[in-house]
Amino acid sequence: MHLPVPAANQSTKLLLVDDEPRMLSSLQHLLSHRHFDIDTASSGAEALACLSSTRYDLILLDLSLEDMDGQHVIDFINTHRIETDVIVVSGNMRIDAAIGALRGGAHDFLRKPFSQHDLFKTIDHVLTQRRLRQTNRDIAYQLELSERTYRYMVDASPDLIYMVEPEGRFTFVNDRACQMLGYDRRELIGKHYSILVHEEDFARARYAFNERRSGDRASRDVELRMTLRPDATRADNPGETSLIVSLNAVGMHQDQVEQGAPRYIGTYGIARDITARKQAEAVILHQAYHDVLTNLPNRLLFRDRLGQAILQSRRNGTELAAMFIDLDRFKQVNDTLGHDKGDELLLQVTARLKSCLRKGDTLARQGGDEFTVVLPDLHSRDDARLVAGKFLECLNMPFDLGGNEVVISASIGIAVFPHDGDTIDTLMRRADVAMYYIKGQGKNGQAFYVDTME
């Protein structure tokens, strides 16, 4: 049996146990002025019945009862773990009786006859001690609850939470480390943080894991790569051996007894797995600058590449060529065989054009059946003529579109930097003019821009 301790706003409940009716009545009358809630028992059996059904804060117990010794009542309280305090009242003058009662579990002892002052003083002392014990239990419970809650939140966190001592060895790692990196937390305690960091990111990791600052000056959102345990793999990407984290770190300091700055005792940090976010950003960035069908650079990326090539040619004093390629008879393929076959033709055209280019050249799709090319670092205009010839030759070969043999050609216009223009827009406009010149001459050919084409 374990009856709960009363709340602070409840009145104090007393049980008076004495087999002398006059003493029991006198005690009840005396204590009623203190606004206690009082029950009485005139025998040991009656006291046990009361203790079995009611919770009491304090019991005034006569040791010498007719039906049983008061110590049996104390033993009953101890056996059933009843949360109450006992003041033993006895006319027995022997000191061993008091010692025996206190050893048995009583909290204080009053020897009959006693004064009203002694009675109230003893009761107040016992109740004060009881309230202090309850306050301490409440504080201990709150601390334990707070610690359990904190540990649950730390271990259930989706982020890796860690602490390292000044030399960089882990003193704490939450369970998330196992899920993120494949390590058991016990494998990391005492190990240097460098075992988790990708070798190319050591410099940034050293900056974050050795963070000594606190407040707004502490490290925020430091991105670095962490390596997985050698035999571990990511469930979402089995081929990956590392992940990208965003790391926040703050220095931990201990106030010194002597005057002086607080002593640095380590770093506390949180690492969040942002691999999926970075991959999604990379996909979005790629899609923003590449053609969806052919995966070639789109108009935006092509202009950037052409701008970089112009800057490089200015520095090196070299030429570059910008080409505009328009496929002949592509509309007939779309109208005759459908858009799916048209898309397949564009993919095959892309593969053939790429096979004719150097590593540093750029092939882009402007849209529809139009392509553009940048050829940087030309030795002469003949280099551009040679590449355009390869384009025409490979495109004149038949294409197989699911059993349908298709033959097309291309019209190619070429503008050369710096002779035909020294800006992106000028070069592309004049390459376009040259391409339309070939269209007007019967298609399936190449031409360099000349002023007379305007």
Write out 124-145 in H/E/C secondary structure. Answer: HHHHHHHHHHHHHHHHHHHHHH
Tokens at 34, concatenated: 């203190």
Mean pLDDT of the chain: 88
Instruction: Give the confidence band of 91 by pLDDT, cuts at 50, 70, 90.
Output: confident
Q: Find the mean pLDDT for residues 64-91.
A: 87
Quick check: is 285 in a domain? Answer: no
Characterize 339-354 residue by residue with b for buried, 16 or more Cβ atoms within 10 angstroms of its Cβ, and e for exposed: eebbebbbeebbeebe
How far is the C-alpha of 181 from the C-alpha of 196, rounded, in Å?
8
Among candidates 119, 56, 75, 12, which has minimal Cα distance to 109?
119
**25 found inside a domain:** yes
Q: 8 falls in which pLDDT band (50, 70, 90)?
A: very low
Residue 432 lies in a domain: yes
Q: What is the pLDDT of residue 140?
A: 83
Report pLDDT for 393. 96
- Statement to judge: residues 309 and 225 lie in one domain: no
pLDDT at residue number 71: 86
Span of 168-172, 230-234, 338-342, 438-442 with lowest mean pLDDT: 230-234
| CA proximity to 415, closest of 389, 439, 433, 390 | 433
How much is the pLDDT for 138? 84
* Residue 279 within any structural domain of the chain: no
Q: How far apart are CA 274 and CA 213, in angstroms?
A: 24
- Asked whether the predicted pLDDT for residue 422 surpasses 50, the reply is yes
Statement to judge: residues 347 and 446 lie in one domain:
yes
pLDDT of res. 423: 95
- For residue 31, what pLDDT band results from cuts at 50, 70 and 90? confident
Q: Three-state SS across 353-392? A: HHHCCCCCCEEEEEECCEEEEEEEEECCHHHHHHHHHHHH
Give me the pLDDT at residue 4, please.
41
pLDDT exceeds cutoff 80 at 154: no
Residues 248 and 301 in one domain: no
Task: Find the domain containing 169 and state its range.
Answer: 160-255+262-274
- Last residue of one domain, picked from the residues 102, 136, 170: 136
pLDDT of residue 2: 39
Q: Which of 247, 274, 301 is the last residue of a domain?
A: 274
- Res. 235: pLDDT tops 80: no
Q: Identity (one letter) of the amino acid at 317?
A: G
pLDDT at 405: 93
Q: Picking from 111-115, 294-298, 378-382, which range would have the lowest pLDDT averaged per residue?
A: 111-115
Which CATH number is 362's domain given? 3.30.70.270
Q: Would residue 148 count as lying in a domain?
A: no
Choose one of 120, 136, 152: the last residue of a domain.
Answer: 136
Look-up: residue for tokens 């007379």?
A: 452
| pLDDT computed for residue 248 by the predictor | 92
What distance in Å separates the CA atoms of residue 281 and residue 271, rounded to the nearest whole number? 19
Q: CA-CA distances (angstroms) from residue 303 to 332, 366, 391?
A: 30, 11, 21
Number of domains in the chain: 3
- The CATH number of residue 244's host domain is 3.30.450.20
Output the pLDDT for position 443. 93
Helices 299-316/275-289 angle, 10° precision? 80
Q: Does residue 106 surpass a pLDDT of 90? A: no
Same domain, 356 and 401: yes
- 173 and 92 in a single domain? The answer is no
Where does 78-153 show beta strands of DSSP type E? 85-90, 108-111
Q: Is residue 282 part of a domain?
A: no
Measured between alpha carbons, how far is 139 from 135 in angstroms, rounded to an integer? 6
**What pLDDT is recorded for position 49?**
92
Global confidence as pTM: 0.60
In percent, the amount of the chain with pLDDT more than 70 equals: 93
According to DSSP, the β-strands at 362-367 and 370-378 are antiparallel
pLDDT value at 68 more than 90 = no
In this structure, the answer to whether residues 296 and 215 fall within a common structural domain is no
